[in-house]
């Protein structure tokens, strides 16, 4: 029968073996790390990770600024689809203005909307039965036209298009969200590209 002393001795011996194996493994690992080949691989890997991060961050920022700021006009009954559209536009736009995120308790609603419109480059209006009957939507649309903003209508139901924008082509979301979104994003990117080219044109002529 083993006594407590025997058990302690066996335990200590076992711990000693573990410690020896651990020490040997540690020294082997250190020698492995110190080899020039491994150090080169480690430095190369770290350099690749840092390089990828340095490239990815500005690339992402540039991609988000490929389309300037967008103002989204919608009726609150259509908030769910408006938020979904806004989320997608943010992937290509530097800023998306929506009253739900920009207007807070105590703000002057009219002033905030006017400021949002003046600072936005594009005016996206979500057309629905609710929106075309809304005085707020009518006011925002009138102001956008007055400020000569590029108006991009989105049609989500069979409501009548306001007379002010009857001649403007719209993105049709009625049958397919993805198809409508694709047309909207393409329109934003194309308009931003054309605007950038027209802004650079006078400079190019002046340089000549």
Q: Is 169 or 46 the better-scoring residue by pLDDT?
A: 169
Residue holding tokens 């790390």? 33
pLDDT digits (tens, 9 = 90+) for 100-150: 889 999 999 999 999 999 999 999 999 999 999 999 999 999 999 999 999
3-state secondary structure 55-102: HHHHHHHHHHCCECCEEEECCHHHHHHHHHHHHHHCCCECCEECHHHH
| Per-residue pLDDT band at 61 (split at 50, 70, 90) | very low
**Which helix (H) or strand (E) covers residue 12, if one does?**
helix 4-34
Q: Is residue 87 pLDDT above 80, yes or no?
A: yes
pLDDT at 207: 40
pTM of the model: 0.64
**Which helix (H) or strand (E) covers residue 153, if one does?**
strand 150-155
The fold adopted by the segment(s) 65-206 is Rossmann fold (3.40.50)
Q: Is residue 27 pLDDT above 60, yes or no?
A: no
Tell me phi and psi for residue 157, to 5 degrees: -150, -170
Residue holding tokens 């020294």? 27
pLDDT at 201: 53
Q: How far apart are CA 124 and CA 127, in angstroms?
A: 9
Picking from 50-59, 85-94, 132-141, 161-170, which range would have the lowest pLDDT averaged per residue?
50-59
Q: How far apart are CA 112 and CA 68, in angstroms?
A: 19
pLDDT digits (tens, 9 = 90+) for 142-201: 999 999 999 999 999 999 999 999 999 999 999 999 999 999 999 999 888 777 776 655
Q: Which residue from 152, 156, 162, 154 is spatially nearest to 189, judged by alpha carbons? A: 152
């Amino acid at each position: 029968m083993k006594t407590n002393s025997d058990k302690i001795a066996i335990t200590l011996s076992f711990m000693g073996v573990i410690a020896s194996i651990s020490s040997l493994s540690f020294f082997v690992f250190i020698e492995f790390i110190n080899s020039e080949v491994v150090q080169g691989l480690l430095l190369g890997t770290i350099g690749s990770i840092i390089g990828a991060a340095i490239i990815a961050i500005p690339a992402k920022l540039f991609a988000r600024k490929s389309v300037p700021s967008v103002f989204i006009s919608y009726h609150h009954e259509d908030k769910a689809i408006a938020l979904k559209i806004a989320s997608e536009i943010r992937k290509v736009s530097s800023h998306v203005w929506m009253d739900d995120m920009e207007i807070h308790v105590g703000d002057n609603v009219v002033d905030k909307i006017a400021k949002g419109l003046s600072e936005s480059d594009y005016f996206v209006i979500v057309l629905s039965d609710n929106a075309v009957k809304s005085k707020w939507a009518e006011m925002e649309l009138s102001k956008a036209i007055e400020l000569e903003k590029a108006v991009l209508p989105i049609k989500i139901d069979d409501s009548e298009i306001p007379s002010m924008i009857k001649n403007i082509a719209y993105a049709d979301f009625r049958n397919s969200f993805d198809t409508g979104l694709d047309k909207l994003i393409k329109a934003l990117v194309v308009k931003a590209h054309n605007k950038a080219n027209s802004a650079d044109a006078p400079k190019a002529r002046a340089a000549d």
